[in-house]
Structure 1
Amino acid sequence: MMERKERKPYWRHTKWQMLASVVPFLVLIIVLPLYAESLNTERFLGFPLGYFLSAHGIAIIAIFTVASFVNRQDAIDHWHGAHEDN
């Protein structure tokens, strides 16, 4: 159980960690489609590059973003003594 005085720093770290994970991903989702048409002049694995990055790259980056978020949140949980006992 987390001490009452430790809750505020815990949630502050969690909030900043969430923003650090979500903001770059949202920027990518907004910016990449703006350049997709100009990237389509190049090809990658037989697909237009803009299409490939929009369809596959965003999905792959989302997986890595979620994985890194989980690992960093686990570290925050351990640091503040809020981890689950196994």
Structure 2
Amino acid sequence: MSTPLTAAQRAYWRRTLLLTLGLLAVWFSVTFVAGYFADELNDVTFLGFPLGFYIFAQGALVVYLMIIVVYVIAMNRLDKRYGLGERH
């Protein structure tokens, strides 16, 4: 039988879950919502390319990398805040 979580552990997991859901919402928007409106986006040009093409060829990859960076920074801060960081 597992022991019940402390208030600090519940707060940590709640913040982790909110961060994960928020970043998944950004990922979903860039991947599926922008894809759904790709035809309409292609009517606009950006740097000489249709915007729908540019978002999927370049922009989405940059957003995916930014999601990873935000996740790593936010989780490191959460770990330090709750005393769960790696010890060396």
Residue equivalent to 1:48: 50
Residue equivalent to 1:7: 9
Higher share of residues assigned helix: 1
**Could you state the TM-score of these two structures normalised by the residue count of structure 2?**
0.79
Give 4+ residue runs of structure 1 displaced > 4 Å after superposition.
none
Separation in 1, partners of 2:43, 2:19: 37
In structure 2, runs of 5+ residues without a counterpart are: none
User: How far did 1:19 drift?
Assistant: 0.9
Alignment RMSD (CA, Å): 1.7
Bigger shift: 73-82 or 31-40? 31-40
Separation in 2, partners of 1:11, 1:41: 43
| Higher RCO (CA 8 Å, separation ≥ 6 residues) | 1
* Residues 1-80 of structure 1 aligned to structure 2 (within 5 Å): 5=6, 6-80=8-82
Separation in 2, partners of 1:49, 1:20: 25
What SS does the corresponding residue of 2:37 show, helix, strand or coil?
A: helix
Cα contact 1:40–1:50 (8 A) shared by 2: yes
**Could you state the TM-score of these two structures normalised by the residue count of structure 1?**
0.81
Deviation string, structure 1 residues 13-52 (Cα, Å, up to 9, x no partner): 2111111211222123111012211221232233211101
Give the total of aligned pairs: 83
